[in-house]
Amino acid sequence: MKRHKINAVANSNFVSVTGIFDKTPSVRLAKWPGFGPGSLQLNGKIFALLSAKGRLVVWLSKERAQELVVSNGAEYFEPNGICMKEMVMIPVGKISWAEAAREAYEYVSEL
Domain ranges of the chain: 8-109
pLDDT tens profile 22-45: 999 999 998 865 556 789 999 989
> Where does residue 56 rank: exposed (0-12), middle (13-18), buried (19+ CB within 10 A)?
buried
> According to the model, what pLDDT value does residue 3 have?
46
Q: How far apart are CA 97 and CA 7, in angstroms?
A: 15
Q: How far are the Cα atoms of 33, 39, 86 from residue 11, in angstroms, in the given order?
A: 16, 12, 23
Does pLDDT of 86 surpass 90?
A: yes
pLDDT tens profile 48-68: 998 888 889 999 999 999 999
> According to the model, what pLDDT value does residue 77 have?
93
Fold of the CATH domain 8-109? Aspartate Aminotransferase, domain 1 (3.90.1150)
